[in-house]
Amino acid sequence: MVKQIIGKQTDLGSFTVRRVLPHREVRAVGPFVFFDHIGPAVFKPGQGIDVAPHPHIGLATVTYLFEGAIRHHDSIGSLLEAKPGDLNWMHAGRGITHSERETDAVRNSHHKLDGLQLWVALPEEDEESDPEFIHVAQDDLPVIEDAGLHMRLIAGEAFGKTAPVPVKSKLFYLDVYMDAGAQLLLPGENQEAALYVVSGTLRIDVSAYDPQSFVFVAPEEIPDIVAQTNCRVMLLGGVPLGHRHMWWNFVSSSKDRIEQAKADWDAGNFPPLAGEDDNIPLPGRPAPKLAAQPNADASEPSNKATG
């Protein structure tokens, strides 16, 4: 089965978000259970991304930008700015709180933002593991060159390379530039896959796909994938982990665990962020009151990260 999935675009005022996963026809691709395209957006001075502290459990958030910069801050002490081509991988495990904003220098300027945020569900044995944050600079991600193909491996394993982020399941995630006429083979066997066209036109079998097209490929398929023009494609997939429950920012194999996470956030039992107390409430609830830690200067990023 080769199936195109049409994402739902939401207008957030100064920018838009296109949500592709989860979708009623394709709930996940391998362990990837969530796919958002943020932007492209152009911000005037004083505008920009300003996502207040919020919780996650049972997943890893995967942030990868084409343009712009986002400052990540979390409850295990990470404070770092991601720029185009860098990977931010936040392993939530049993629970983490984080915010996504911009530095004052970025926010006070005319700037752009364009990028993807994906979520990877965790294997059941890792759902209650310790939270972790890993930042990998663009130059530290493996590069793969082949006839007309210029690929950067963001996470997982593909084409004989392994990315430095320690993933918990079998997956692949690549940024692929294709010269016109180049052919792309899918990595691995018995793995679900999807292609998201960022620019140019991609042909899969007899159908052509333009930018913002998301195409799911079942494990048994061996499609003919050719660039009709120079194009950029995000390639992702892996081995499915089985059904996962999703509610708001929580992913789990257990409904009861999600109910517990709701109660914990409502009661202020998630760890707080240093210097930040403008927390996002549960949908339909007033904002939780978390005890703020000592004030932190969040105007400029630190280089605290692992990996």
Tens-digit pLDDT profile for residues 190-212 = 899 999 999 999 999 999 999 99
Q: Which domains does the chain have, with CATH numbers?
A: 2-238 (2.60.120.10)
Q: Which pLDDT belongs to residue 288?
A: 57
Res. 299 pLDDT band, cuts 50 70 90: very low
- Higher local confidence (pLDDT), 219 or 302: 219
Task: Copy the structure tokens of residue 61.
Answer: 């958030």
User: What is the overall mean pLDDT for the chain?
Assistant: 92
Q: Which pLDDT belongs to residue 183?
A: 98
The dihedrals phi and psi of 104, each to the nearest 5 degrees, come to -60, -40
How large is the average pLDDT for residues 266-289? Answer: 87
How large is the average pLDDT for residues 24-43? Answer: 96
Q: Which pLDDT belongs to residue 295?
A: 36
Q: Which pLDDT belongs to residue 245?
A: 97
How large is the average pLDDT for residues 85-92? Answer: 98
Going 11 to 109 to 65 to 180, the CA torsion angle's sign is: positive
Percent of the chain with pLDDT over 90: 88
pTM for the full predicted model: 0.92
Residue written as token pair 């692992």: 306
Return d(Cα 33, Cα 304) in angstroms, integer: 28
DSSP per-residue letters across the chain: -EEEEPPEEEE-SS-EEEEEES-SS-S-BTTEEEEEEEEEEEE-TT-S--EEEEEEBSEEEEEEEEES-EEEEETTS-EEEE-TT-EEEEE-TT-EEEEEE--HHHHTS-EEEEEEEEEEEPPGGGTTSPPEEEEE-GGGS-EEEETTEEEEEEEEEETTEE-SS--SSSEEEEEEEE-TT-EEPPPSSS-EEEEEEEES-EEETTEEE-TT-EEEE-TT----EEESSSEEEEEEEE------EEETTEEES-HHHHHHHHHHHHHT-SPPBBTB--PPPPTTSPPP----BS----SS---B-B-
Tens-digit pLDDT profile for residues 97-135 = 999 999 999 999 999 999 999 999 999 999 999 999 999
Closest to 282 (Cα-Cα) out of 44, 55, 93, 63: 55
